């Protein structure tokens, strides 16, 4: 029997305390999300509506199939920066005429939809997702181009936005631009580089330089329509393939374009029958303790996200601090690696390496559930080769070609974050629970390390350690690292694709596994040299 049996007592005080802690974090998160939904703020949304225009989210809602979900990605981008949270663009996975697409919609209520450094990073992330997963890209354009005050951070790297569009096209991935308004300067290359372009009569304005710039440059006097109006592009320049009467009409045409792509998924189809887990997903709120120092069994998470709670554990008697095994999520087979006791030892690293190789042999996507404080340190472990064993695992993760998804449920510290396929290891998607924390190490440990190092330096100089100053410094560093380790901060830095409600984990994994299956799923046997 491979069905997991839960040992969680949902009536216990501990469980209730865990639920309370998670709910408090979800409530905080809700406040952040509400702020994101307001876009550039009431004043600008009102002005936008008075112009007879739809907001970015309304445009997306019209574009996707009726009553189908939209998985918004990176909604908290730019959190903690000087820019509006959300980074003046809405991106996510939506289904259009039955085709899973990547949708990128500028938010014109935030600084005219201009691209600041975070907008750029978010759009580049969306492009990567489209390319890796072979998803048609729909750009819903209304942008004044570069955010001029921060042009030094946007202009040079921003070239990739346009390069990506043509590389998607060269890979056979369709790119569709619906131009709702201004698409100035660099922005003009979004329709310019897209396979299919829809313009709107008297709304789309696509030019390299607007009337004032042209007058400055050449002295020519012109108006918006002559320079870049939708009708001009549809009838004269040929940049527009279709001329829509209004926004709704543009969306209608956009949907017809997708319908005519004859798009076929190249990955495996899900099992015909999808079985729900035996345990309630709502119980996921009570599994992770508020204090991450308290260990929890990741099988309790697995039991609530995999089909039928059915899990074939691999090497259960070996390397017990990492749980590995096979399951199915929404009909898609997956291999799961989940930290069980926090620390990764040599056995765990070797087990993970073998497991990743096996998943590659059977073309099975991998799911990483993070709760690790990193690889074990200390004499015994260094002498036992913890570095080379950790390196083996990182080698396997880096070179594995089956799709990876990472979910940070608890801690994700140190090289453990790397070995478990952290952001830099290109998982197809990476999400964090509100309970997650990620940094080079825990805040307390990090402050302690700095203190030890600076004490030693003071003593080496023959000085006397000022205990009060040391304690103050430790407290300050601890608070700083703690603030930088939490999911909203990390999400703001685009180190994940979103902070998710634990109860949505299974649904989101199903959506992303399905999107991933748009591209072929193929493993490899080509890894780097394993240092044995």
Residue ranges binding ligand COA (CB under 6 A): 111-112, 114, 144-149, 182, 184-186, 210
Which structure tokens are listed for 417? 């974050």
| CA–CA distance, 414 with 521 (Å, rounded to integer) | 29
Closest CA relative to residue 182, chosen from 111, 283, 253: 111
We find the least distance from the C-beta atom of residue 210 to ligand COA, in angstroms, to be 6
487 CB-near residues (< 8 Å, 6+ apart): 29, 408, 432, 433, 434, 436, 437, 496, 499
Q: Which is nearer to ligand COA, 209 or 268 (CB)?
A: 209
For residue 449, give the 3-state DSSP assignment. Answer: helix
We find the least distance from the C-beta atom of residue 39 to ligand COA, in angstroms, to be 12
CA distances to 197, 230, 253, 255, 514 from 178, rounded to whole Å, are 6, 11, 9, 10, 25
We find the least distance from the C-beta atom of residue 285 to ligand COA, in angstroms, to be 40
Q: Which is nearer to ligand COA, 44 or 326 (CB)?
A: 44
Q: Which is nearer to ligand COA, 84 or 406 (CB)?
A: 84
CA distances to 129, 179, 187, 194, 515 from 163, rounded to whole Å, are 15, 19, 13, 11, 23
Q: Which is nearer to ligand COA, 54 or 95 (CB)?
A: 54
Which structure tokens are listed for 130? 């489209």
Q: What is the dihedral of CA 451, 452, 458, 460, to 10 degrees?
A: -170
Asked whether the beta carbons of 510 and 334 are under 8 A apart, the reply is no
We find the least distance from the C-beta atom of residue 347 to ligand COA, in angstroms, to be 54
| CA–CA distance, 499 with 430 (Å, rounded to integer) | 9
**DSSP calls for 2-67:** -B------TTSHHHHHHHHHHHHHHHHHHHHHHHHHTTT-HHHHHHHHHTT---HHHHHHHHSPTT
We find the least distance from the C-beta atom of residue 50 to ligand COA, in angstroms, to be 11
Q: Which is nearer to ligand COA, 112 or 289 (CB)?
A: 112
Q: Which is nearer to ligand COA, 210 or 333 (CB)?
A: 210
Alpha helices, DSSP H, located in 276-327 = 298-302
We find the least distance from the C-beta atom of residue 47 to ligand COA, in angstroms, to be 7
Q: Which is nearer to ligand COA, 61 or 224 (CB)?
A: 224
We find the least distance from the C-beta atom of residue 113 to ligand COA, in angstroms, to be 7
We find the least distance from the C-beta atom of residue 117 to ligand COA, in angstroms, to be 12
336 CB-near residues (< 8 Å, 6+ apart): 302, 306, 311, 323, 324, 325, 326, 327, 366, 367, 368, 369
| CA–CA distance, 311 with 466 (Å, rounded to integer) | 55
Tell me how far the alpha carbon of residue 331 is from its chain's centroid. 23
What is the C-alpha radius of gyration for the chain, rounded to an integer number of angstroms?
Answer: 25
Q: Which is nearer to ligand COA, 144 or 434 (CB)?
A: 144
Nearest position to ligand COA, beta carbon:
144
Tell me how far the alpha carbon of residue 275 is from its chain's centroid. 27
| CA–CA distance, 121 with 403 (Å, rounded to integer) | 22
| CA–CA distance, 382 with 384 (Å, rounded to integer) | 5
Q: Which is nearer to ligand COA, 39 or 144 (CB)?
A: 144
We find the least distance from the C-beta atom of residue 141 to ligand COA, in angstroms, to be 12
We find the least distance from the C-beta atom of residue 220 to ligand COA, in angstroms, to be 17
Quote the strand ranges of 382-444, DSSP E.
404-413, 429-432, 437-439
Q: Which is nearer to ligand COA, 107 or 497 (CB)?
A: 107
Q: Which is nearer to ligand COA, 148 or 269 (CB)?
A: 148
We find the least distance from the C-beta atom of residue 268 to ligand COA, in angstroms, to be 44
Q: Which is nearer to ligand COA, 144 or 267 (CB)?
A: 144
> Which H or E element spans position 256?
helix 247-259
We find the least distance from the C-beta atom of residue 205 to ligand COA, in angstroms, to be 8
């Amino acid at each position: 029997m491979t069905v997991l049996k839960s040992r969680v007592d949902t009536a216990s005080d501990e469980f209730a305390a865990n639920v309370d802690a998670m709910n408090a974090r979800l409530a905080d998160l809700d406040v952040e999300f509400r702020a994101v939904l307001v876009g550039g703020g009431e004043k600008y949304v009102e002005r936008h509506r008075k112009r007879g225009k739809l907001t970015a989210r309304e445009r997306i809602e019209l574009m996707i199939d009726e009553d189908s979900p939209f998985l918004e990605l990176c909604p908290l981008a730019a959190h903690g920066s000087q820019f509006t949270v959300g980074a003046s663009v809405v991106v996510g996975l939506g289904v259009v005429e039955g085709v899973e697409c990547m949708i990128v919609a500028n938010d014109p209520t935030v600084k005219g939809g201009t691209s600041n450094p975070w907008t750029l990073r978010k759009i580049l992330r969306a492009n990567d997702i489209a390319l890796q997963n072979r998803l048609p890209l729909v750009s819903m354009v209304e942008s004044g181009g570069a955010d001029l005050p921060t042009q030094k951070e946007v202009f040079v790297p921003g070239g990739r936005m346009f390069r990506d569009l043509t590389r998607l096209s060269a890979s056979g991935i369709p790119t569709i631009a619906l131009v709702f308004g201004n698409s100035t300067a660099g922005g003009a290359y979004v329709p310019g580089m897209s396979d299919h372009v829809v313009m709107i009569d008297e709304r789309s304005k696509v030019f390299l330089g607007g009337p004032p710039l042209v007058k400055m440059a050449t002295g020519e006097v012109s108006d918006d329509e002559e320079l870049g109006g939708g009708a001009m592009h549809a009838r004269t320049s040929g940049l527009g393939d279709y001329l829509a009467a209004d926004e709704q009409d543009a969306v209608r045409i956009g949907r017809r374009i997708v319908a005519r792509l004859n798009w076929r998924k190249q990955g495996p189809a899900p099992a015909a029958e999808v079985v729900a887990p035996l345990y309630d997903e709502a119980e996921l709120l009570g599994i992770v303790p508020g204090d991450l120092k308290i260990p929890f069994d990741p099988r309790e998470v697995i039991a609530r996200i995999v089909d039928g709670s059915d899990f074939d554990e691999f090497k259960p008697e070996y390397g017990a601090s990492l749980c590995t095994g096979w399951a199915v999520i929404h009909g898609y087979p997956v291999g799961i690696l989940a930290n069980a006791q926090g620390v990764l030892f040599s056995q765990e690293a070797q087990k993970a390496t073998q497991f990743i190789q096996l998943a590659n042999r059977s073309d099975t996507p991998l799911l990483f559930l993070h709760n690790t404080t990193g690889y074990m340190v200390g004499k015994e472990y260094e002498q036992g080769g913890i570095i080379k064993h950790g390196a083996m695992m990182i080698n396997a993760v880096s070179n594995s070609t089956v799709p990876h998804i990472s979910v940070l449920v608890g801690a994700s510290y140190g090289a453990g974050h790397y070995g478990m396929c952290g952001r830099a290891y290109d998982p197809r998607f990476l999400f964090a629970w509100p309970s997650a924390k990620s940094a080079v190490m825990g805040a307390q440990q990090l402050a302690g390390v700095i203190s030890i190092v600076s004490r030693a330096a003071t003593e080496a100089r023959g000085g006397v350690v000022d205990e009060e100053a040391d304690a103050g410094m430790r407290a300050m560093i601890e608070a700083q690292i703690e603030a930088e380790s939490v999911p909203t901060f990390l999400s703001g830095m685009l180190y994940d694709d979103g902070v998710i409600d634990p109860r949505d984990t299974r649904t989101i994994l199903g959506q992303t596994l399905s999107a991933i299956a748009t591209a072929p799923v193929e493993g490899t046997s080509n890894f780097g040299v394993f240092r044995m």
